[in-house]
A and B are shown apart, each in its own frame.
Chain A
């Protein structure tokens, strides 16, 4: 019989308890033999509760930074060093996002860098939870990503090392419960071991599945999160930006402070440093003008230069030895190559030293003269030359030169061409003295103050209506174009077919419009959305703040215009007070007319932008309305001259033209009065037009037997087309929808009138009588803006954008969904173990 060691140990007499010494007493420990027992474990399983996620995150971050401190001192353990990798990855990620943030130019792209970083880390964390942990738990009842806390308080994955799983942390009851969920029979031998093995197997398989899928899932999931987050971020930034812009206008002085960098004052200080107390010549005037007006338009800058010349100059020019030298040089250049002998030139033209002496003898040198006095000086020099010529002629009668020719050579109407006057006008007598310097400094201060205010106004205008990415109007445009794509029912496959060709998009769009126009409920829905979307712009850019007066009747100046007027008037007033009369006029106009002035440029920018955008959307309303009118009653042409009724074939041509013009026409088509190949000998059939499904049933169009040509003499065809498109009553359905939004209704009405007036009155030399309401002198820019973007072009661009997003989403969204499906389905093949034979109960 073997010795029972346990019994021996129990029966052994216990050592008397000795009070332990304060420090570790090895003898005490040996006597008690407690050292051979393992310490009682303090580890525990952690229950993952989503509510504690923020606390866990905070704890993890704190732990990581503590680990950093320990590692820096060389005292970290393996677990802490592992956490430092996460910290490094975070630092690297933030560095990448931070750097790319600086490379991006718009707030959205900048913001998306950090969204991208966050989504990447989130995807790394979320994927194993939703694709691995959750399905495994739901299917098998096992949390394969269970965490535990070891005796040192370190949080670790329970199944991190399959060879060393701390099973003792699970009680029998818990294991049995999991076993029941796993479907393990109750009465098998070593049931706990079997359940544990099944759990281990599941965990190993799932960890492998995680490693194999994470590489695909993380970038795709991150990209999908970004894709979905982008519109929200854009909307948020748009609102913030819009609010910020409004604040600029309400508190312009405060906002302008950030632009108060005083560049003009700095530049003037540099000039004074370099040219102080030096004569003011044309070159210096130009340098000063450029320094002062670097941020101002060229017309105003030119006026500034002229004013500056008058203010800084006393109208007198200095004469010095240099002047005499320059006169000599100019005379020699003037006489060179004119056939004079060398002897003649040497004898007649005073040499440099002689000229200097001549100037001194006549009291020119060291004095200053007005420009009118230059003639007198010039005459004296000429007479001296003539005197010398006469002497030469007398001495050399054979080589005598014509005195009249000599006088002619030294004369010129323009100062810069006169060899003497030019040299005399080179150096102004005025200096950049303290008085001039003081004037310039004051002026620079005025300009810098205005510049700061003007830049703040520019910022406001740019945020609201700038032709740049992510301005309020650009965001609005993108948003509406995508919404309208949906409303009109464009499918991805349709867009895919037409996305490279505007004409194909035009055909597709025409089909959509005809279909919608033929169905009242569809028409009401689409037109309702269109009017609502067009109206939304007025809530983002309020007409009281910014408006195109051509389209919108605001009654008075907008807030922006008032502020512009205040700042520009104040600036002009200050300039006028300092003698800059021409510049002041260039800035605000002559009091009756702003045309060509700086203030007009400032105001016109926003007006033109709004006119272009609003015209584009009004054109869409107009197009859809026209298609509706044609779909319901194509024979209703109210403005046709009753004396010249249209035959059916011409009507067919007219309606086809109108459909095309509304859909595809540019301002150049209006300018050339609609070139169209028509039948010169149309049928005399006057039967009414018929429609089906929004399309006219053409009986004659396209069937001209004798060929077609543009009939340039038929002004009525043009007039009828324009009247049908823009003067005939809009459809009652359209009117009913427009009545819901009075401001849009009024803008639309005004738009139609403007088209007739401005485009209809555009005189084209090849078709001079093709006018609607008399000749109009509107510039081509306004005509271009009124025409707006053609609907086919509008949807062509919007379609490409929509296609790109959808294509990408389809590719990677589909792949992501497939990956998730496969990963989840894989669970059904995991954790399979042959169940041991059950113990039979007798």
Chain B
């Protein structure tokens, strides 16, 4: 019998100096709760690693460098790119003559705000798809887990051979981590309790013999469709953010904008101005100006983003039953043709 590779109970030790062993938060792959605290923690951890540990490993050409680290480092160009983009439109302005400076700064600051809104809305809008899908189907497509990695030691004295990676249970639709969704019977949990809940939510019935087997294809389908909706709609929401950033009312905000939070009165005025001008900008974005398509471009953009979100959710939660020849006879427990 071929057994699955499982190393979480192994006491691997490649070095005689056991006292230097790193104490990790997890000693085996662990399902994590998808809440704000965990997401923040994971975000900070990934960002810190993306800016420090992974580039160092990558530049050394470490034998332990892997695809996860490469993907996580993808955050770096996003962050640096955003800052550079802001800089491209603003850094040279201070050298310009007053009139040109005013004109260029108004545009540059809107660009910078656009970059900021792009990132914020792209990230936040994913919840507009994943949360409704979760509420309707019970499937948390963003569920994180901590993966314990055992690395090759760099040398004989290297005892730090474990590390934690933060993945999502459904980040691969071909190889989802189904195993993590099973209940721990040692803790008194029903083995399929998570799958039972999903089956119930999906209207597939209760107290199924093998709810996991029943719902896995549906989960996979829903995850794929949700990913599609998130991918398309999030970029359209991001574009909406850029559109909002390009409205005229922001110019009033830029006049009082300050990052000096220690100057209470000025900073408060800045925040109030931000709120007020955000509302005004959203209104202007919606109303539009000019005539023809220009007048309705804002509405069209929001409409497209909202439509892809709604259609994406509807598509994700709807299921077209296929007439396959082979079906499981639940009463008899075998396949019938």
- Tell me the A residues contacting B by CB distance below 8 Å: 68, 71-72, 74-78, 81, 84-85, 87-89, 91-93, 95-96, 98-100, 102-103, 160-164, 197, 200-202, 204-205, 207-209, 211-212, 214-216, 218-220, 223, 499-500, 800, 803-804, 807-808, 811-812, 830-831
Contacts and interface: CB of A to CB of B under 8 A. Distances in A.
Interface string B220-248: 11101101100110111011001100100
Contacts of A71: 224-225, 227-228
**Majority secondary structure of chain A interface residues (helix, strand, loop or mixed):** helix
Contacts of B234: 88, 92
Contacts of B243: 96, 99-100
Contacts of A808: 92
Contacts of B81: 214-216, 218-219
B78 interface: yes
A499 B231 contact: no
B96 interface: yes
Give the most central of B66, B238, B239, B246: most A CB within 10 Å: B239
B61 A76 contact: no
Given A161-B66, A208-B58, A800-B100, A218 B293 contact: no
Given A103-B246, A204-B62, A215-B81, A811 B97 contact: no
A99 B227 contact: no
B79 interface: yes
A66 B6 CA distance: 37
Interface string B89-122: 0011001110010001000000000000000001
B55 interface: yes
Given A209-B59, A804-B96, A219 B222 contact: no
Contacts of A78: 172-174
Given A95-B301, A220-B84, A215 B92 contact: no
A197 B62 CA distance: 10
5 contacts: A71-B227, A98-B297, A99-B298, A102-B294, A215-B76
A71 to B, nearest CB: 4
B333 interface: no
Contact of A208 (B73, B78, B227): B73
Contacts of B83: 215
A304 to B, nearest CB: 28
Contacts of B97: 499-500, 800, 804
Contacts of B88: 219-220, 223, 812
What are the nearest 5 A-B pairs in CB distance?
A215-B80, A208-B58, A92-B235, A74-B221, A201-B61
Given A99-B297, A102-B297, A103-B246, A216 B228 contact: no
A103 B245 CA distance: 12
Contact of B232 (A87, A93, A100, A220): A87
B290 interface: yes
A199 to B, nearest CB: 10
B85 interface: yes
Nearest to A67: B228
Contact of B55 (A162, A211, A803, A812): A211
A226 to B, nearest CB: 10
A76 B226 CA distance: 11
A819 B147 CA distance: 36
B282 to A, nearest CB: 14
Contact of B228 (A76, A202, A807, A831): A76
Contacts of B232: 84, 87-88, 91
B171 to A, nearest CB: 9
A212 B76 contact: yes
Nearest to A214: B77
A204 B238 CA distance: 31
A208 B67 CA distance: 11
Contacts of A811: 91-92
A131 B84 CA distance: 18
Contacts of A209: 59
A162 B65 contact: yes
A84 B238 CA distance: 16
Contacts of A223: 88
Interface string B248-266: 0000000000000000000
Given A99-B239, A200-B61, A211-B70, 9 more contacts: A72-B228, A78-B173, A81-B231, A84-B227, A161-B67, A208-B55, A216-B80, A219-B81, A499-B97
B250 to A, nearest CB: 13
A95 B231 contact: no
B315 interface: yes
A3 B33 CA distance: 52
Given A71-B224, A499-B97, A807-B92, A95 B239 contact: yes
